Amino acid sequence: MRPGLGAGPTIVTAAPSVERAVSAISEPEPPLLEVRALRRDFHRQGSVVSAIDGVDLAVYAGDSLGIIGESGSGKSTLARCITRLDRPTAGTVHFQGRDVTGSSDRALLWFRRQVQPVFQDALTALNPRWTVRRLLFEPLRIYHEADQDARVAVVLDDVGVRREWLNRRPHDLSGGERQRVAIARALVLRPSVLVLDEPTASVDMSMRRSLLALLVRLQAEHGLTYLYISHDIRTVKQTCSRTVVMYRGRLVEEGSTRDVLTTPAHVYTRVLVSAVPRPAALGSARRSDRLRPRTDGPRPSSTVGESACVFLARCPCSLPECGTHVPKVDLGRGHVARCVLAGRLPPDGDGTGHSAPWGGPDNVGPAIELVEEGR
């Protein structure tokens, strides 16, 4: 991310093309990966579900972008559309300035070599009938790479895949070992981007730490760019320079990981961040890190209009204007939230993002004067 250095909050009302033109002045370097107005609809029981709905994203070389949001918010669908494992219904994906949205599989070969996915469940992502050796050599064979033995040897050492695993199949490995193989397979073609969808979710805590340390080291050593999807906000804090928050297929907040997680500006992000168990509160009890929607709250309404807040039906402190027009508020340094109360939320209790349950609009501090662009 190359954010501008704006001061107070500003409502951004300019058209996206104008926004991009303005931001381009302070961002001479073009994004490596750019997603514009991306949408993916699924037809389900006679109705249409927009799993992602108008997502704009710019990812710069060397970024590690965290993507957070509760279950069903569209994170994996976004990852699948970006890696072109799925075809978006509308919008575009550009990589190195080239539009890859409608490209055929054949035309996508160069892109797939550069942008590699790593999924949560290596057991289903890796062909169960293949040995680790075949899994690692196959991509090199497809791309007719030279020095294949040497390339595999380097990646084995880099990722910590033991040579004695080469003749094993995925189900003969532990979860952590399998995930190392999946990472090695993703890296063997020397890509520039890894799209990591919950890469540590299926392993235990100590293996999680070790895989995270591995990912951080690999990024530093190889100059990789990461899109890192996780329910575990603590690992996002450790791994990502920038974070976006998704809710019902839309990006509701984005900014530096520090800004988004320690001073969340969207009410939904506040709720999401405050749901993270604190280490002191964890005790010895086993807790699930999955952040699922509350089942006792009001259900999201399917009649919410385009310009209404997507979180309206569940927001504890909505205002009348939330149902008609929700601004995109620029809080400076690339911190943007689509919330009427962005920049007006009271400071977080202890500055850690773990706020006490928040009472609603009565608790909102003095409103900062919001300046509408063009006025």
Ligand X SMILES: Nc1ncnc2c1ncn2[C@@H]1O[C@H](COP(=O)(O)OP(=O)(O)OP(=O)(O)O)[C@@H](O)[C@H]1O
Residues at the contact surface with ligand X, assessed by CB under 6 A: 42, 44, 49, 51, 69, 71-77
DSSP 130: S
Binds 329, which of Mg ion, ligand X, ligand SF4, none (CB < 5 to 8 A, cut-off by type)?
A: none
Which residue's CB is nearer to ligand SF4, number 200 or number 269? Answer: 269
Per the CB < 8 A criterion, the answer to whether 143 and 191 are in contact is no
Whole-number Cα distances in Å, 166 to 2, 86, 125, 202: 42, 31, 17, 22
- Interface with Mg ion includes 76 (CB under 5 A)? yes
With binding defined as CB under 6 A, does residue 246 bind ligand SF4?
no
Cα(78)–Cα(81) distance, rounded to whole angstroms?
5
Question: Per-residue x/- marks for ligand SF4, 261-300, CB under 6 A?
Answer: -----xxx--------------------------------
Q: Least distance to ligand SF4 from the beta carbon of 259, Å? A: 17
* Tokens (6 digits) for 335: 């911190």
CA dihedral 179, 184, 186, 187 (to 10 degrees): 140
> What does the alpha-carbon distance between residue 228 and residue 79 come to, in Å, rounded to a whole number?
9
Q: Answer with the entry of Mg ion, ligand X, ligand SF4, none that 44 interacts with (C-beta below 5 to 8 A by kind).
A: ligand X
Bridge partner residues of 58 (DSSP): 34
Helix or strand run (H / E) with residue 197: strand 193-197
Among 82, 224, 339, 343, binds ligand SF4 (CB under 6 A): 339
Torsion (CA) 59, 61, 64, 70 in degrees, nearest 10 = 20
| Stretch near ligand SF4 under the rule CB under 6 A, chosen from 64-72, 150-158, 173-181, 260-268 | 260-268
Q: Which does 339 bind (CB under 5 to 8 A by kind): ligand X, ligand SF4, Mg ion, none?
A: ligand SF4
Residue 349 and residue 356 in contact, taking contact as beta carbons nearer than 8 Å? yes
Minimal distance in Å, beta carbon 266 to ligand X? Answer: 17
Residue number closest to Mg ion, CB atom: 76
Give the residues lining the site for Mg ion (CB under 5 A). Answer: 76
Give the residues lining the site for ligand SF4 (CB under 6 A). Answer: 266-268, 309, 311-312, 315, 317-319, 322, 326, 339-341
